[in-house]
Amino acid sequence: MQIIKPTIMARLGAAVGLAALLCAGAGAQTYPNKPIRFVVPFAPGGTAEIVGRVMGQEMQKHIGQSVIVELKPGAGGNIGAEMVAHSEPDGYTLLLGSSSLASNISLMKMNFDPRKDLVAVAGISMVPNILVVGSDSPYKTMADLLAAARAQPGKLTFGSSGPGTSSHLSGELFKAVTGADILHVPYKGSGQVYPDLISGRVDMLFDLQGSALYQIGGGKVRPLATSAARRSQALPDVPTIAELGYPGYENGSWLGVMAPAGTPPAVVARIEAATAKALQAQDVRDRIEQIGGQPIPVDTQGFARYFENDILRWQKLVESGSLKPMQ
């Protein structure tokens, strides 16, 4: 048997490594050569789908392939996010990531770790929630609602679009800062909450501004406050929760493009560039403005820091006892 000397083995190893790098580089250069899946991990009809579709339609103009939006709702966005996290890291399966990825790390058990299994590619926007009640509700202001909640602890209810969503967490933060005892009633998407809210079976809802505006415009619900740091141009008469006596209250749902960890840097850069160009399109800017979207870092490094800071924010709230993990 011929004995291969260590130096020859080292050279063979280096050659194999170089070949792998060259193959990866070649793959990145030809990317993309087939349609791209863009997974939206929330129910149809909501703000996430609105943003996902308008972004996907515009991104495909700049990336050179079809971007197919695919809805995978469930578990506060975890089902779709987990599917992407476990997908091949080749840039052909992307995720419309949201703030639930940052908060769920501290609030619930997950079958994947967004910090390790996903890479933040590009930020899109942060959309605030609007606190709404039915138009026939006896609560004309947030003060009315809080007075009733304090007079009858545990009797008032707030619906949400699901555990761990910004709709749910805005309500939990509201309870934490106001001290009000209000019962959480989870649904599968905010669209399912509205019939019960309008009929009075549920007392209140925090809904993303995009879908809330449609309901407000229809006259079936009344806005009481916004979770944003400043008033919305679309709802200039609706005060912020902070200005109503709870300074520092701010929450919403950021949205951004994410990919499986291990996606080649050159591919990440292509997706980042396509996202940035899509955000410059007038129809995309108009749509995001309509839903009350506020800017967040678009570039990969800035968005990654933004994501990490949001993880730490929820982590601190749980550690301080302001929020309790979900069982």
- Give the CATH fold of the 34-126+253-319 domain: D-Maltodextrin-Binding Protein; domain 2 (3.40.190)
Rounded-to-integer distance, Cα 44 and Cα 40, Å = 9
Answer yes or no: are the C-beta atoms of 200 and 139 closer than 8 Å: no
pLDDT, tens digit, 9 for 90 and up, residues 190-230:
889 999 999 999 999 999 898 899 899 999 999 999 999 88
Question: Which is it for the CA torsion 45, 50, 51, 54, positive or negative?
Answer: positive
Could you tell me what percentage of the chain is helix, strand and coil, using 3-state DSSP and rounding each to the nearest 5? 45, 20, 35
Residue 221 and residue 262: Cα distance in Å, rounded?
Answer: 45
When the pLDDT of each residue in the chain is averaged and rounded to a whole number, the result is 90
Phi–psi pair at 130, nearest 5 degrees: -115, 130
In this prediction, residue 291 carries a pLDDT of: 85
Instruction: Give yes or no for a contact between 120 and 256, defined as CB atoms under 8 angstroms apart.
Output: yes
Query: Using one digit for the tens of pLDDT, what is the confidence trace for 70-104?
Result: 999 888 789 999 999 999 999 999 999 999 899 99
Q: Treating both helix axes as pointing N-terminal to C-terminal, what angle do 265-280 and 282-290 enclose, rounded to 10 degrees? A: 80
Phi, psi of 170 (to 5 degrees): -60, -40
The confidence score (pLDDT) of residue 20 equals 47
Structure tokens at 242: 């902070």
Report yes or no: 270 and 31 within 8 Å, Cβ to Cβ: yes
The yes-or-no verdict on residue 23 having pLDDT over 90 is: no
Q: What are the C-alpha distances in Å from 187 to residues 7, 104, 161, 277?
A: 64, 17, 5, 35
- Residue-wise pLDDT for 251-303, tens only, equals 999 999 999 999 999 999 999 999 999 999 999 999 998 888 889 999 999 99
Q: Is the pLDDT of residue 67 over 90?
A: yes
The reply to whether the predicted model has a pTM over 0.85 is no
Amino acid at 136: D
Tokens of 301: 């490094």
Cα separation, 248 vs 241, in Å, equals 9
- Domains of the chain, by residue range, sit at 34-126+253-319, 128-226
The answer, yes or no, to whether residue 327 has pLDDT greater than 70, is no
- pLDDT at residue 232 tops 90: no
pLDDT on residue 35: 98
pLDDT of residue 24: 47
If you ran DSSP here, which 8-state letter would residue 3 be given? P
- C-alpha 205/C-alpha 196 separation (Å) is 10
Report how far residue 166's alpha carbon sits from residue 229's, in angstroms, rounded to the nearest whole number: 15
Question: Do the domains spanning 34-126+253-319 and 128-226 agree at the CATH topology level?
Answer: yes
Whether domain 128-226 has CATH 3.40.190.10: yes
Using an 8 Å Cβ cutoff, are 118 and 85 in contact?
yes
Q: How high is the pLDDT of residue 300?
A: 98
